[in-house]
Structures are given as structure tokens and as C-alpha cells.
A and B are shown apart, each in its own frame.
Chain A
Amino acid sequence: MPDTFETKKQEKTVVTDVPREAGVDLRLPAVVPAVPYPIETLVPQVNQQTPAVGQRVTRPDGRMHGLGQTKYIDDMSFPGMLHAKIKRAGIASARIVRIDTSAAEAMPGVMAVVTGRDIPVNSFGPSYQDQPVLADERVFHAGDGVAAVAALTEQIALDALEKVKVEYEPLPAVFDPVEALQESSHKVHGTDTNVYAKKTIRKGDVERGFAQADHVFENRFSTQMVEHVSLEPHAAIADWDANGRVTIWCTIGRITLARGDMARTLKHPMSRIRMVGTVVGGNFGGKNEITQEPVLALLSKKTGRPVKGVYSRGEEFTSTTTRHPIIMDYKTGVTKDGKIIARKVRLVLDGGAYCSWSETTLGKAAILSAGPYNIENLDVEAYVVYTNKTMTGAMRGFGAPQVCFAYESHMDDIAKALGIDPLEIRLRNAFGEGSASPTGQVLHSVVVKESLLKAAERFGWKEGRS
């Protein structure tokens, strides 16, 4: 074994003197402060130990983060690189009558402009391909992109967006998921119904369960739309070379899927697409799909230069996926000693303008909605509907934090009404090894009771109030 890490003390100084012209946009490669660091003291011995599993080893990337040396996309630059910006519709539902890009294209420093009509196949999505890369005929939510500009600087690109003239014909819209369920509501995608996916789970006979119950509890819970708010926004650089091979450095956490989406939208063979997933500054489910990457690729193809795009914080909110608001109706039948014998759940997920990861979220929310409890009679129906709002998609927990808020709030209400301790009522109902899940799956390595007892013990639950 070479003793790589027993090297003598090394002093390394990072170059800080990056020349910068006055007035140039501050989005230059990050200037790293001089950090003379002795490498040997930074290598804890635990990383050298075997067996490796179970060790509290430090992350190699943690050292780079700590020293400010991680290269995120915004720290990367290539010779001749252009900066791209996307014009957002700002109107939630409309038909695009015309887009005039001539004034923008005539601006000095503007190198290329693309619109939705330039995208070879203008649709993508993991379940249904209902999302355009840039809106072409219709706008489905206010954060939709309608045109993109590549320019010498970010500021010129932003100025050029102002000169892109878009004429809209406003259309009716629907924003409330319950309203969207109604027959008379505006149909976001012109289909018969705004419901685009449904999930049902049925087990036993829920009505008989309610009839046998000593008490029946009902409540409605709802949650809001939230954003992932990763520290690093969505960012990418595309470089289309003279052989037609395009390389994309991107913040996407799923480059295999992203390459498939790029191949589809650009109508380009996979062998000519290289996706490089850089160190990502936070994902939480928000960076699982392509966003601006096909646009940057086309701008690079048009200009023959690398093109970088970095979303603003505003675009992070309005133009990327968010967490589903869910309206949750719970009805639960219990015996007088707190055993749940029947539960009926109705979920309505606000899917926003496009499907994205809604189908997955719907499935997980429906399956998990009964909680980690043995319930013989169960009836769950869950729907996800289109509205003219920012699309909802994957976010840490896929519907689980929403339904957990509902089933656990409901559980405490039941416990209080029956005069049972909240810990005790959970232990009475919780899954054990070999329990059957709501989908009839026999569960293994189940430790929900152990986790309840461990948390309660650590908290001092039984000792009473502090």
C-alpha cells in the first residue's frame, strides 16, 4: 500500500488575483481566498480504518466546501462563453398570438434568440410528456418561459428580454384544486377533466368497519405549496461542438433520465449527448428533471459558443417544481380502547400546470396515507388535478409530510377524545414485523414501535412535563 496520506506538510496557496474590469457583472468565477493548509492535519484517521461500514468517515467534498473551493456551475467558465436568460410569461393562462424577437436580436451583444417553435420536440415529463420546454402555442402558468436570449453578458441578456414582444390572448384559468375538480371548471389542458391521475386502495369493508366502531372521527386537513429553496439555483452550461456533440454541465441529480429528455427534445442521438452532473448545491427533489438545458443546447448550437444559464431566485420559485398542496379528508372508526378498525381517506393534490412527478407523489401519498398502522378496513381515493399554477413535482417525501401531518394530527385528536396517551395509542395500532401494509404487502424489518419507544425514552415522555 502506498502511504499517500503520510506525506510531508504541504503548503498550497490558491491564486486570488483574478483580473476584473471595472463595471463587469460580478458573476465572475468565484475568487477563493488564500488558504495555506497543512493537508496532513485535515485527514482524520477514521477514513483509513477497516471495516469501512459504520465508520463516521468525513466527506471528501466537505473539505472542499469548507475551504470554499467547490466548483459549482456558476464558478465555471469557458472561453467565449455566453449568458442566457429566459423571458417568463407573467400571465397564467393565455394563447400566444405572436412573438416578435427582432428588436432583441438587433441589440449589440445579443448573439441568438430562441422560442418554443425552435425546440425540435417541445414536450417532456417523467410520466406524461405534457410540459413544453418553452411555451409555444399556449401558456399554462405564469412561470412558463416563452423565449430565451444568449448574449455576451447576463445584463445584456436581461435587457434583451425586455425587447422581446409577446402578444397574448388571455384565456380563462383555474387556480383552486377543488374548483378544478368541478365539471364546469376551465380545463387547463383542454381535456375532459382536470384530473390526470387517480389512485385507489381498498382493503376489507370500510362501511362495516364504521358500523362496528365505538367512535367515528372526521376532519379535513390541508397543506400549502412550498419550494425546495436549494442554496444553489438551477444552473447549466451547454457546449455544442462542430461534430454535433453536445456536452451539458448541469445541476441535475438524475443525469441518465436527463440525457433521455435531452435526446427527445433535441431529436439528437444519445451517443452525441454528454451530461455531466456537477457538485449540486442542494436538490431535495427539485433538480430531477431538465429545465433550461435544451434551450441552452440550442443557443450553443446557434452561436457555436458555450452558453451558461443560471436561474434567479424568482425563477426558482415560479418556474421550477414545488411541493403539492393537498386537501385531505380523514374519517376513522375506532374501538373504545383506541384500536383503529376503519379508515376512509380522500386526497386532492394540486398538481399545478404539468404532471412532472405528480403521479409518483399521488401514489406514495395514497399508500402512506393510512399511517404505519394495522387497519383492517381501508378505503383511500386520491386525485391529482391540473391548475394554472407553478407545477408541483418531486420534493423530499413525495406527499408523505402532508399525509403524515394529517394522520398524526388526527391520531392525537382521537387519543385526546378517548383519554389515551398519544404514545400508547400509537403503540396499540403500529405495524409489527410481518404486518400487512395497506397494499397487502408483508412488511419486514419493521421497527416503528422501537422508534416510538426510543424517541419517547430519550425525550422523557413518561416522566411527564418539563
Chain B
Amino acid sequence: MVLSEPRAMAKHIEPGMRVALPVDYAGVSMAMTRPIIEHGAGNLDLVCVPTGGMQVDQLIGAGLVRTVETSAVSLGEAGGAPRFNAAVKEGAVRLKDATCPAIHAGLIAAQKGSPFMPLRGLIGTDLLRHRDDWRVVDNPLADGGDPIVLIPAIKPDVTIFHVPMADRFGNVWIGRRRELAAMAYASRTVLVTVERIVEENLLADEMSAAGVLPALYVTEVARAPKGAWPYGLWGEYPADSAEIARYAKAARTADGFSAYMAQAQMEPA
């Protein structure tokens, strides 16, 4: 395995790439956010799996984002995502509004190497009306009628997430956050930050093996203690809601956002 560090991993991101990022509570690699912004590759097409939060808001605020495909972007209890909302109002980002299971369906199609996945629901929504990449067909297995929506495969160039541990062979522990595996299967490049690297092979024990994303799907791993902060990490630490609220307030204006991001800021000791 290539043991890397966040700044080096950010170099995998090239302008115009499609980048998949996980939901707040699944393991967001906040440790990668500033390195990505410093690296500066723009025109990114973000895929939020299935919703986005602070990381997405910060990449938008930094001007790196062309498209956001998502079921929602918010800061949870801290309220709306300020830079996302401003960018929507100004028309500065292109929106591909979705619904959670449609994002999952697109990734699962890619995971299987299939061109699309059918999904119930959606018919009669304005989401469908604004998505020219989604198609409605009549169920070919029914006697007639029964319209159903086809969601095209979502194949990100890069997936980025944070989890508690990897072993020194590059196997990554994702526990029961199986959407991280779906993202990895669907992506060409998978960048993972971890709290710690362990000596033993995680595949050697059946109990841990069941929750492992094998090194086969992992491009690079970097150690980043408290790497999800201010988000929490399952089984490790809770979210720092005071810090998320502090960001929500600061980022209401572009200047406030810049000032917040300029702070040389890491997790509290």
C-alpha cells in the first residue's frame, strides 16, 4: 500500500473531475478539505452520497465547484449551508437535484458495471422534470404501462472519505457504512484518511473482515487523527456542534467565509 499524506493525496484531483463525498455521519474526510482547496483544481462535479454538508459548502465557497449532484445540502441543526445557498441564488453552481435512493441507485449501477438502475417513485416530481439524464420507460416485464425511472450509473473519478482504521496492507475498515464501499466500487480513484494504521491484517479475522473494504479498491491512505472534525466519526467521537455552528455563522458572508478558512485551524487539542 502507498501510505500517503493529505496534501499528496489532493494532487489526484484534476480540474473537471467528478468527486464523490459521503454524508455527514458516514465519515467525511474534513482533513482533506483544506489540502483540496490549496491544491486548487476547479470545475469539480460533486456527488453527495446522498447529501452534503460543511465540506461541500467549503469547496463551493472556495470556488472549486461546477456542479452539485445531491439530495440535499445543509449544516443539519446549524441550519442551511450558507455558501451553497448563495451560489444557488447567484446561479454560480449547476444543480442536479436528486433524492437519496437515486444517488445510491446510480452508484449501485456502476458497482455492477450496468448502465442504469430502475427506481420507483420520482414520477410527477419536479426533480425528474429537471433531470434530462434520467429516463422514464414502461416496465418491459409488465403486460403494459407501469412507468419506471432509469437512473444512469454514477461513475466518480475520485471518492474521498475518512474511517477509523486501515491496516498496513491498505485494507480499510468501513464497518457498517456500506455506502462507502459502493462509492469505492464505482470510482476510479479512492482516497481514504484514517485515525490510525494497525499492524494486523484486517482480513485475517472474519469478524473484522466483514467490515473491510479491501485494498483492491483503495488508491491511497493517509493518517489524519480527528480527521472528520468538526464532524463526528462513528464509534470514535461525536460531532463538535459548537464548531459547526461557528462556521455556519461565519460563512453567511463571503468575507466571513474567507476569514474562517484562513485560520490555521485543526482540531482542538
Does B associate with A?
no
Residues of B bordering A, CB below 8 Å? none
